Structure 1
Amino acid sequence: MTVKIGLIGCGGIAEVHLRGYLQVEDARVTAVCDVVEEVARQRAEMAGGAQVFSTIQSLLAGSDVDAVDICLPHHLHKDAIVAAANAGKHILCEKPLCLTLEEAAAVQKAVSDNGVILMCAHNQLFKPAVQRARQLIEEGALGQVYELRTTDSFYHSFNMETIGWRGHREMIGGGELIDTGYHPSYLLLYLAGSEPVEVSAMLSNHRLHFMDGEDSAQVLVRFADGKVGNIVTSWAYEPTPNTEKFQVVAERGYIYSEAGGDLHYKIRGSEPVTIPLPKTSGFNEEIADFITCVREKRRPIHNEADGINVLKVILGAYQSVAEKRTIIL
């Protein structure tokens, strides 16, 4: 059975997703939707001749897709998810899941009421180093985990003319933290494997002063089992070469990965070990796994419940800065 996909939103990230579907034998993008017809037609041609629609409702009503892939600006996610779920379509949605806890409740209800699968498009979870690290942690190789740090910082060339909707708080939902910063946030929660219970944050606008929101963030998270996590993320600067993608320090040793490639770990009393692993974006693996989830009707690696937990951390960080205190989730 070929899983037929409707691509909703045909901007830059949609091309990355579409290339992923072209690598999966039993999946095909058969419909695309965008308010800019020229862009939609370009994606349709790339997909091999997909139907073109200008609205979500027309795609849902006029195509026979099994699932949709939502690649829209942040503020449009909730309505698109709810519409797709109510139409009985499975859903892959780019991060963030949505922008508020009220929106999250509507998403959760629509997905539950209609019995569809929702997968959060958290591509970095599919990096081999992340999967191997999670395995080592779950196997108890490090003993009790104490602290974790995840990072995603780079010098972004945005300016007033090119930042687009991301420069507006009501569309992006904040600033850099709810965009690129969403990656180290979901990565932190995934590696911690525990419910976040407290959040404290500091936000900065070091360089991109034309933005409504922050261009950099540091967030502390305490988890229910006592672990403490630190998120570092920015569009303002080029990080030092030794900045790790993630690190975990624990009772028996440590584990880390630089740029999400090879995995390094050390157990106390033993020599350090390096596991050579490919450095990938994770997008192709994410798309392939979504298709498998749809075919096998199994729980995705990150579903709406996981997406809501990540959103709680992000919103808690914003509240922490606004109220200058630690937020209890």
Structure 2
Amino acid sequence: MTTPVRIGLIGAGGIAGAHVAGYLRNPETVTFAAVADPVRESAEARAGDTGAAIYADYHRMLADADIDAVDICLPHHLHKEAIVAAARAGKHILCEKPLCLSFDEAREVSAAVEDAGVTLMCAHNQLFLPAVAKAKELIDAGTIGQVYEVRTTDSFYNDFDPENMGWRAHAKTSGGGELIDTGYHPTYLLLHLAGGSPVEVTAMLATHRLTFMEGEDSATVIVRFDNGVIGTIVTSWAYEAADSTERFSAVGSLGSLTSDGTTLSYHVRGEDPVVLDLEPVHEFGAEVAHFARSILDDTRPLHTQKEGIEVLGIILGAYESVRTRAVADVRALEPVR
């Protein structure tokens, strides 16, 4: 391919605005070529004055628009169908979290992407925070030694009510509750920093405040990885995390690192702590740039369907653990061929 990558946006809801801002920060490698949404006013608002073509149906966009890739920003339960349709149309795919909602959907997604030979990148925007990227670099370099434990936190006071929560209030369309929504972020972050494949999971869920929704509003999850790392996730829509709670931390045989999501510090045993001064980035701009370069250079994105399926496996295993009141295996979700 030659630049720029021509992207068609599928779904013009709230998160799509951040994605469009990412396109506009990458004019040398990305063209916002089309947008599909059944609500024309929403599509027009996202298109603005960019010249993007507007479609009511993304299937029509896939058939008619001059695009190389799609960016899926739909409600959770619609992800699988859109991924499969885009792959079969030969389009590369950027998909908002979660990748899909079940083991069967995961197999369909993986098979469609592999058969089509297209690139699928999970839109795991927090991986592009400078603190996360630097922490991963330090861990991979062995700065804190063999990693023993990783912790991630993503909690905030959510002002959802029965009138404004929409499809997220229903397990059939959201896939569960807070854990498969906002909780997806600390889960993929945990996977990224742990550096292994998840094998076991146990969880406790709670509904502290948002009692009108079908799923949980808070979750604590413990994960064992195949490299021996133990991970802990704390996530909630019910409350803000306590002061000094880390966004993520890792402890290893030689020391530790911790971050509030913006700053990063690490401490090797016997040495003075180091606090790093990191330049901020527009994480959605960085995410879109990475997606475009992956297509143009034919390189692997940070997280493909493989990692998306592993994150889903942790979350579905957590839900199973709550149902059975036992530690659950994280099922292998590779496609059955």
What is the TM-score when the length of structure 2 is the normalising length? 0.96
Measure, in 1, the Cα distance between the counterparts of 2:29 and 2:257. 36
SS of residue in 2 equivalent to 1:242:
coil
The aligned counterpart of 2:228 is: 226
The aligned counterpart of 2:308 is: 307
1:255 corresponds, among 257, 260, 279, to 257
Is residue 2:80 matched to residue 1:39?
no
Q: Unaligned stretches of 5+ in structure 2?
A: 331-337
Measure, in 2, the Cα distance between the counterparts of 1:317 and 1:125. 22
Q: Is the 8 A contact 1:262 1:279 kept in 2?
A: no
Displacement, 1:308? 0.3
Measure, in 2, the Cα distance between the counterparts of 1:322 and 1:291. 41
The aligned counterpart of 1:17 is: 19
- Which aligned pairs between 1:1-329 and structure 2 lie closer than 5 A? 1-24=3-26, 25-46=28-49, 48-258=50-260, 260-280=261-281, 282-329=283-330
Range moving further from structure 2, 56-65 or 177-186: 56-65
Measure, in 2, the Cα distance between the counterparts of 1:253 and 1:69. 40
Measure, in 1, the Cα distance between the counterparts of 2:281 and 2:47. 26
Displacement, 1:38? 0.8
Q: Is the 8 A contact 1:261 1:280 kept in 2?
A: no
After TM superposition, where is structure 1 displaced by more than 6 Å over at least 4 residues in a row? none
The one-letter code sitting in structure 2 at the alignment partner of 1:43 is R
Displacement, 1:125? 0.4
Q: Is the 8 A contact 1:154 1:235 kept in 2?
A: yes
What is the TM-score when the length of structure 1 is the normalising length? 0.98
Alpha-carbon RMSD: 0.9
Deviations 1:198-248 (A, max 9, x none): 000000000000000000000000011211000000000121220111010
Measure, in 1, the Cα distance between the counterparts of 2:114 and 2:66. 22
Measure, in 1, the Cα distance between the counterparts of 2:77 and 2:4. 31
Deviations 1:61-98 (A, max 9, x none): 11010000000000000000000000000000000000
Displacement, 1:279? 4.4
Measure, in 2, the Cα distance between the counterparts of 1:66 and 1:43. 19
Aligned length: 327
The one-letter code sitting in structure 1 at the alignment partner of 2:47 is A
The one-letter code sitting in structure 2 at the alignment partner of 1:207 is R
SS of residue in 2 equivalent to 1:321:
helix
Displacement, 1:144? 1.0
Displacement, 1:278? 3.4
Measure, in 2, the Cα distance between the counterparts of 1:88 and 1:164. 32
The one-letter code sitting in structure 2 at the alignment partner of 1:204 is A
Deviations 1:116-149 (A, max 9, x none): 0000000000111111111111111111111110
SS of residue in 1 equivalent to 2:232:
strand
The one-letter code sitting in structure 1 at the alignment partner of 2:317 is G
